[in-house]
Structure formats: structure tokens, C-alpha cells
Structure 1
Amino acid sequence: MIYLDYAATTPMSDTALNAYVKSARQYFGNANSMHDLGGEAEQVVQFCKKQLGEFIGAQSDNIHLTSGGSMGNWLGIEHLKQQAEGNHVILSAGEHNSIRQTEAAFRQVGYQVSVIPFNSNGVIDLERLNEVLNEQTAIVCVQHSNGEIGTLQPIEQISKLCAEYQALLHVDAVQSFGKVDLSNIADLVDSLSVSSHKVYGPKGVGFLYLKDHPKYDSASMAQKWLRGNTVDVPSVVAMTSACEEAVERIEEEHHNQSQLRALFKESLIEPNVIQFFEGEKSIQLPSIIGMAIEHMEGQYVMLECNRHNIAISTGSACDVRYQQSANAMNALQMGEETARQFFRISFGRYTTYDEVKQLAACLNTLIETNVLNEVNSDGQPTIVER
């Protein structure tokens, strides 16, 4: 099957697989044990944390191992709740569900919650963010790269706005890590989450960056979890190897995926097609393309592609599982019809030109069928430009 759903997950690279097998054989001791085998495993873990920290400009003591991006988001927010003052929280409307689902929990314990939509370029509305920030704002949560349309948020500008009000900033970097340079991002944020399986590492492991704060509370729920688990040493080693490889290949893969995107765009016929944020003002990952074919359900497009042995998605896997509209569509304030038509294509390290051409051919067949079924009174196809 042609796999074009890399934003959902990636296959493990040979580098990560080899690192996993080698470390599983050599460092099988419990890193919490006091004997020599445990000490060796702990040394490996500390070395990995040092490397992971270097990728984002952080010290190893600020790196905490997690079970993945969702757990990292939750733990990061729980930690910041212990540090921050104020009773106001700001979320972007396009956040991953692991963050959007905290909205109700915040309200239940007395926080006011503001949800900021995207602007016409697919990023958080900075003017609106500036308007709602105030002295009571405790935490701002922003996903660096949206996993459904690939747009990148201006973290440096957001960080400056937060600093004016001493609001703490949590950034979900699950989609952006290993795809853009984050070597200095630790200076801009108070917590940041990364997931291994988005960068060709194993599932079930990730890391969380936490900046130290004066009100550090070692009794908090987040700190108890972070300190109390048995470390999966082979997965940590494999994740670190995958992260290192991804960071080293950022420019190469950005170039390759930009070429794949251009080829796809050239190969696709245009009538009745919406491609989200192809304009010059939008900054987005070249690997993620959000699309819609007018008058055609996104789920139908996905199933037709699947029937032709091509794997794509109708949005974040966490949303699709519960048949929810893509959060990006809600953040863009798209109507229900457009939200239902949305589907996502995401390229990766192993995507080939031939696979992109096969995808375009499959979609072209669907588009041509759609045009034949949707004609205006003059008998001409209805072409929609977005």
C-alpha cells in the first residue's frame, strides 16, 4: 500500500530499529536499580536526555521522558498550573485534542478559558491574542505546527506577547520537531512536548521540556508521574537516534518534500478543488496538504484512495477515531459542509515521485466524476478558487 499519512505516524527507521535492538540486549537493567546493570542503564538514559536537550537548546535536567505527545501535553500543562498565577487560560482553536480536551477541566476548577481562532493565513490571530491576554492569564497553549493543514505558528511573537503579561507558554511541537530548526526554542517557551513516532522512532515514548520556575512543587501530580516510572531504555535510545537522524536531515527532507508537493500540485486538475493555504503569506510544512473536493465527503475520498491501495486521512487520527471534524476546520471557522469535505495528505521520508503521481491520478478520477455530476446552467463545470 502507498502510505501518505506520515502526519499520523511514521514507520521506524533502520537507525532507530538497530538502536532499539542493540540497547535492549545490552542495557536491560532497570535504570532505577542501584546495582551496576541499573547504573549502566541510567547512564544511557542521562546521555540520551543530554542529546535530546541539545536538539532544542535545553539542559538535560529540563528534559523529562514521557509516553508520547498527548501525555507530554497533559503533564506540561499540569506542571505549569502549579507554577502560574492567575485564573485565565488561552488555547488556540486548532490545538490537538489532548489540549482541547483540557478546556472543560480548566473550567471545572475555576479558570476562565479563551479560545483563539486562526486568521486567514491559518495561524493564531495575534491581534486577538493580544486583546485577550491580561494580568490574570496563567497559561497560553499553542501547537507549533498544525497537524491537519501544516501551518506554522509564530512562536517568537507569541512568546513576546506572553512575556508582557508573565503568562507561561506551552508549545506542542509534536508535528514540527525534526522538520524545522528548533535548536533555540527552549528560550522561548516554558514547556514543550515531542513525540518519537512522528520522527521514525518507536511509539509509546516522547519527551517533555520544562523550564524551572521559583514555585516548583515536587508534590504536584505531574512531578509524581515523571519521577515514578520505570524507564523503557531501548525505546528512549531508539527515540534519541531517530531524533538525531531527523534533525540532521531537516534541510534534505524539506527540499525533497517541497519537490513532492510541487509535483502533486502540477499533476492535479483544479476544478472544484480547495487546497488550504497555498498562498505566499502562509508558512507551512511542505509535507502536509489539507484539501477538499467540493460536494464530496472527505471520508469518501479517503475510502476511495484506500480502495486503490493509497493511505490518506481525513484529519488528525485522534479526531478521526471519534468521527470529529478536523480541529483546523473549526479554527478556520469553516462551515460544516467544508469540514466534512476535508482530507489530508502527508508525505514522508520514503515517499516517491511515482507514489505522488498515483495519488494525483486517483484524485483526478474523483474530481472528473465530481465535475460531471456538478454542472451549472450553461453546462460548464463550476470552478471554485480559494
Structure 2
Amino acid sequence: MRDEALEIYMEFAKKHFGNTQSLHDVGTQAAQVLEACRQFWGHQLGGDPSGVFFTGNASEANQLAIRGFVKGKKGKILACPLEHASVLTVLGELQTEGYAIEWMPLTSSGEVDLLAVEQQVDAACILMICQWVNSETGIIQPINQLLKLAATHNIPLHCDAVQGFGKCALENWTSKVASFVVSGHKFGGPKGCGVIWMNPSLHWQSLYAGTTHQQGFRAGTLDVPAIAATTRAAELALQEQQQLFQAVKKMHDLVQKSLPTEMEVVGSRAEKSPFIIGVLGFGVDGQHTMLEGNRRGFAFSTGSACKVGHGEAMSTLTSLGYSQDEAKQFVRFSFGRQTTREQVDQLTQWLQHKITP
């Protein structure tokens, strides 16, 4: 968490702890803070601030948006198979409820196959779902081109942008998607605060009967200090984005070039975010590699943190054509604003001298 965000959190927890729904002065002050945060997010995403909502996390935002768009409708949902677990979970639930789920085919490099998706789009499609940046590999999906396909049948497109916001440059398509989800802790805000922009020009239904908070989008008293801290962190992240991107790219490229020939970077032929590099080739289960790295002071992952503890191969890698045995050997290195060149040098030395733990 950024120091500046933490300072805002502590200050607002003391001064603006009121319920934004209350009409007394304390509640009004909290509501004013909330509205200022909405204005910021609406402006940054190029949309109407009235479409900005705050949740407990991005996983919740994904699920509320998807269910909100399809509630009361019948038809099929087109989705990228590389989605985060929170999206895959709700799609599995919707399938049991009678919705047809069709997966978008991928190219050999791991991007959505636009020509194939064009054949899938028809009047029966009620929603398209595609992430911006993949959390395991960093593969960037062609959201702008998908939006053009979606527009042919007026199909809303939901976008999980958690791994892209504050790291990759924002593009003008953000105001054209049906929904755009980010997570505060990915750019130095507090954990437990998700932000979503729901396009006000599109209809969605509340999942909570009688809810008055946030136009019925989500029940519960809002955590104004966390929202303010997340907004401050986003402001700083956007200011630093270009410079951080270039610095991280240098570290990413250094690690990639240092990898022994036995190792493979997953998704290397696609357009990628430099903040993530997924690697195969250690020859043992990813958990063993992670624990060996941990003993040397490295904190890397065997994939999305939402899947830690599960023995099955990650859906991302199997969707990209890898076997389950290969997927179990996967590890993911992530870079951020606190990553140092010294840490990267230590990592590359370990990778070069010890292929297997």
C-alpha cells in the first residue's frame, strides 16, 4: 500500500466515517468524498461518473456486473477462456442455470481469434466477456477490435481490467465497454476495494431486492476511507504509469533474456504486459520451484493467487494448449513499482545456475 494512500485512509477513517446514505452532516461529508471519487473515476475512464460503483473486491465486481447484465434474459454468453477464476466461477453457475456458454477460440499466440469470434456473434448472444491483461501470462487481448464485433449486434462487453489499470496505458475504448473492473491493491491502494464502471447507457438489473446503496448495484454501507485511499493510489499510478512501464519493461526483458534455453516464456509471441512473465521448464511441480525460490528470498507465484492450493492445472495454460503435467510446472514472476534491479539480478543469477530446484 502506498504511503500516500495509507495517509488518506487514516485521515478519512477519522474525519469521514459517516454513512453516505445518512442525511446528517457527518453522512453528507462522507457522501461528498464519495462523489469526488466517482467524478475522478468517471473522468479517467471517459464515462459518466454515475456509472461508477465500489465493491469489496474486483472478484465481486466481476460477478455482480455479469449477473446484472444477463438477469432476466435468455441466450448465450461469449467468453475468453483465459478469464480470472471469479469470472469462470460465475459462468459455471450461469451454465447450470440454463445459459449457454461459448468460449472464444484463441490464436496460436494466445490472443482471441477475431475471425473465429466473428462467426460466433449472432442475435442469440446477450453478453461478451474478455479480460484486458491475463493474470498468468500478461497476454493483452484486442479489446478494441472485439468491441467492433460486439457493436454489430449491440452486444455489451464486460472487461476485467485488473491487471492492466495503472500499468498499461489507458485507451479510448474504456468508455465503450459495458463494464470495466479494477482492483485497488494492484496499484498501491488497500486490499478490499474494487472499482467498476457500468456504462449508464446499458440496462442492468440489481441482484439485491430493496437495496438503496449505489443504485441497487451492491448492498452494504460503503467503506469511504478505503475508496478515498484507492482513488488517491489510482491518481498516483496514472501519473507514474508511463515511466513505470518503461522501467519494468527493462527488468522484464532482462529476466527473459537470461532464461536458459530449456525454459519457455508462455505467450511470448503475443502482445504482452511487461509486469508479468510466466515460465515453464523447471521440470518439477511449480510449488516446489516456488518454495525453493522462497528460501532465496523471492516471492513469486505458481499462478493466480486465487488458485493457490488447487492441484489441478491452471485453466489458462490448458486453454493455451499445454497439458496438465506441463501446467503444473508453471511459475509466474511479477514486477512492480517496488521491484529493484538488484532483486532482478539475483533472480537471473539463480535462473541461470539452477534450472531445477
Partner Cα separation in structure 2 for residue 29 and residue 321 of structure 1: 39
Question: Match of 2:238?
Answer: 247
Checking the alignment, whether the CA contact within 8 Å between 1:155 and 1:188 is kept in structure 2 is no
Partner Cα separation in structure 1 for residue 61 and residue 173 of structure 2: 16
For 1:323, give the aligned amino acid: G
Are the structure 2 counterparts of residues 166 and 264 from structure 1 closer, same or farther at C-alpha, using a change threshold of 3 Å?
Answer: same
| SS of equivalent residue, structure 1 residue 139 | strand
Q: CA RMSD in A?
A: 1.9
Partner Cα separation in structure 2 for residue 292 and residue 67 of structure 1: 34
Question: Match of 1:337?
Answer: 325
For 1:272, give the aligned amino acid: E
Question: Match of 1:103?
Answer: 91
Q: CA deviation at 1:134?
A: 1.4
Checking the alignment, whether the CA contact within 8 Å between 2:161 and 2:182 is kept in structure 1 is yes
Are the structure 2 counterparts of residues 216 and 101 from structure 1 closer, same or farther at C-alpha, using a change threshold of 3 Å?
Answer: closer
Paired residues, number: 353
Checking the alignment, whether the CA contact within 8 Å between 1:150 and 1:285 is kept in structure 2 is yes
Q: CA deviation at 1:251?
A: 0.4
Checking the alignment, whether the CA contact within 8 Å between 1:117 and 1:333 is kept in structure 2 is no
For 2:5, give the aligned amino acid: A
Are the structure 2 counterparts of residues 98 and 223 from structure 1 closer, same or farther at C-alpha, using a change threshold of 3 Å?
Answer: farther
1:36 equivalent in alignment to 2:25: yes
Partner Cα separation in structure 1 for residue 161 and residue 220 of structure 2: 23
Q: CA deviation at 1:95?
A: 0.3
1:271 equivalent in alignment to 2:261: yes
- What are structure 2's unaligned runs of at least 5 residues? none
| Greater displacement, 87-96 / 105-114 | 105-114
Question: Match of 1:4?
Answer: none
Q: CA deviation at 1:227?
A: 5.0
The one of 52, 59, 66 equivalent to 2:48 is 59
Checking the alignment, whether the CA contact within 8 Å between 2:79 and 2:130 is kept in structure 1 is yes
Question: Match of 1:160?
Answer: 148
Question: Match of 1:384?
Answer: none
1:194 equivalent in alignment to 2:182: yes
| SS of equivalent residue, structure 2 residue 272 | coil
The one of 209, 213, 222 equivalent to 2:197 is 209
Q: CA deviation at 1:327?
A: 2.6
Checking the alignment, whether the CA contact within 8 Å between 1:174 and 1:198 is kept in structure 2 is yes
Counterparts of 1:1-386 in structure 2, within 5 Å, are 12-82=1-71, 85-182=73-170, 184-213=172-201, 215-217=203-205, 220-221=207-208, 224=211, 226=217, 228-268=219-259, 270-279=260-269, 282-367=270-355
For 1:250, give the aligned amino acid: Q
Partner Cα separation in structure 2 for residue 223 and residue 50 of structure 1: 26
Partner Cα separation in structure 1 for residue 252 and residue 266 of structure 2: 13
Q: CA deviation at 1:183?
A: 5.2
Are the structure 2 counterparts of residues 98 and 90 from structure 1 closer, same or farther at C-alpha, using a change threshold of 3 Å?
Answer: same
For 1:156, give the aligned amino acid: N
Which TM-score applies when normalising by structure 2? 0.93
| Greater displacement, 227-236 / 341-350 | 227-236
Q: CA deviation at 1:168?
A: 1.4
Checking the alignment, whether the CA contact within 8 Å between 2:282 and 2:289 is kept in structure 1 is no
For 1:228, give the aligned amino acid: A
- Greater than 6 Å deviation, 4+ residue runs: none
- What are structure 1's unaligned runs of at least 5 residues? 1-11, 371-386
| Greater displacement, 128-137 / 62-71 | 128-137
Checking the alignment, whether the CA contact within 8 Å between 2:53 and 2:217 is kept in structure 1 is yes
Q: CA deviation at 1:240?
A: 0.1
Partner Cα separation in structure 1 for residue 285 and residue 159 of structure 2: 32
Please give the per-residue CA displacement for 1:233-252, whole angstroms capped at 9, x wherever unaligned: 11000000011111111100
Partner Cα separation in structure 2 for residue 74 and residue 68 of structure 1: 10
Question: Match of 1:9?
Answer: none
| Greater displacement, 106-115 / 307-316 | 106-115
